[in-house]
Amino acid sequence: MKLQRNGRTKALAIGAVAVVSSLTLAACGSNNNGTTSGSSASASSSAGSTSTAASPAGADCGSGQLLGAGSTAQQNAVTQWVKDFQSQCSGVTVNYQGTGSGAGLTSFEAGKVAFAGSDAAMKPADIAKTAAVCPGGQGIDLPMIGGPIAIAYNVPGVSNLVLDAPTLAKIFTGQITNWNDTAIKTLNPTASLPNLPIQTFHRSDSSGTTNNLTAYLHAADPADFSYAATKVWPAKGGQGATGSAGLAAQVKAVKGAISYFELSYATAGNFSTVQIATGAPAPVAVSAANAAQLIATAPVVGTGSDLALKLNYATKAPNAYPITLVTYEIVCDKGNKAATLPALKAFLNYTISSAGQQSVASLGYVPLPAALAAKVQAEIATLS
């Protein structure tokens, strides 16, 4: 992914990403675990037709339908992963529904899916709830891919817009309401800012993307954004839309709009995006390379098999983009259903492999550091 040096991301046709020619699927291990969860998964619709390609030699792909749900931030990545994986493992159909991180976790806790995608690690109360569907174990967070959250806007005649945490906090809480506000002019002295009302859009559903944006705003400017990190938009005012695709559609359609969604949506829609003034020597553009700078410094704070990370949203390091998320797959460490465990392990082994990580890099996602990916692979091997 080339470093983007201005606030406007390049348009990329998501459908043009080529399927990797060979998949590095690690062997899944034993398939004789007879443990089952107390609730059966309910199928909805197929994720698409499967390929007739043979499975990689020595790999156990499993069989049947593997259900997942959750994060829309990772949905573009999962779509590519499913396409790649099913081309080599034709006996498995992976069905992932982008319902939002909160809804995905709820489905997992109800035993309806084998894995949930979430852009925020589980809280202790969430982990406690998973014990009912993970007999003898609990749900764990496995980091899977990173991605910067773009602040996209629709202001005719304005490009290379720079904003900082205080200005963003005041915009999203309704304290700054016009694009020619003095605070915005100060950060953009050469821009032709119009006398145009600001239209803010936020997620109306429970969202890990919202959790990461609110975490950034609160960490970088608690005085103007007093709300703690939360999946449900906390501030009054603004307009809601469902999913990242819903927010992108609103920004595209409404003059004066500003919102937040993952870089993969911004690149696909050719949106103008904000550079963030963090206190570093220069404003930081949204890009995969700059997000990688932040992820590389994130320590693991989860306990046991849980690999939850802690991101430094208040960073002032050069070229570190602060509004970045890591999206997780939530799975049972023990107590997975015997019928779907081989397919689950095979699919996760592909997504965390070098081939899987690189297959979605062109969509604006950030491959995990090699050392972290190795930890995830080690945990996948122990799933039972």
Query: Cβ(11)–Cβ(267) under 8 Å?
Result: yes
Give the per-residue pLDDT at 59: 56
Q: What is the CATH number for 71? A: 3.40.190.10
Domain edge (last residue) among 294, 317, 336 = 294
Is the domain of 270 the same as that of 366? no
- pLDDT number for residue 12: 34
Domain assignment present for 7: no
Judgement on whether residues 198 and 256 belong to the same structural domain of the protein: yes
Q: Does residue 242 share a domain with residue 159?
A: yes
Task: Give a yes or no: residue 121 inside a domain.
Answer: yes
Q: How far apart are CA 28 and CA 45, in angstroms?
A: 26
* Residue in the block written with tokens 């690189």: 358
* Domain ranges, residue 337: 16-147+302-309+327-382
Say if residue 116 is in the same domain as residue 225.
no
Q: 23 and 89: one domain?
A: yes
Query: In 3D, which of 211, 209, 146, 148 has the Cα closest to residue 373?
Result: 146
Q: For position 264, what pLDDT does the model report?
A: 87
Q: Classify residue 168: in a domain, yes or no.
A: yes
End-to-end, the C-alpha distance of the chain in Å comes to: 36
Using alpha carbons only, what angle is made at residue 122 by residues 116 and 126, rounded to the nearest 5 degrees?
90
Kindly state whether residue 99 falls inside one of the protein's structural domains.
Answer: yes
Alpha-carbon span 328 to 369, nearest angstrom: 14
DSSP 26-76: PP----------SS-------SSPPP-PPPPTT-----EEEEEEE-STTHH
Residue that is last in its domain, among 270, 294, 318? 294
Predicted pLDDT of residue 60: 86
Give the count of domains, the chain. Answer: 2
Looking at the structure, do residues 237 and 262 belong to the same domain, yes or no? Answer: yes
Is 314 part of any domain?
Answer: no
10-residue mean pLDDT profile of the chain (384 residues): values are 36 33 36 33 32 42 96 95 96 96 97 96 96 97 97 96 98 98 98 98 95 97 96 96 96 98 93 98 97 96 96 97 97 97 98 97 94 97 98
317 falls within a domain: no
Do 262 and 158 lie in one domain? The reply is yes
**Within-domain flag for 81:** yes
Q: Cα separation of 100 and 208, whole Å? A: 7
Residues 281 and 157 in one domain: yes
Looking at the structure, tell me whether residues 143 and 153 fall in a common domain: no
Does the residue 240 lie in any domain? yes
Same structural domain, 190 and 287: yes
| Whether residues 290 and 153 fall in one domain | yes
pLDDT digits (tens, 9 = 90+) for 311-345: 999 999 999 999 999 999 999 999 999 999 999 99
If asked whether residues 29 and 142 sit together in one domain, one would say: yes
Backbone angles phi, psi at 153, to 5 degrees: -145, 160
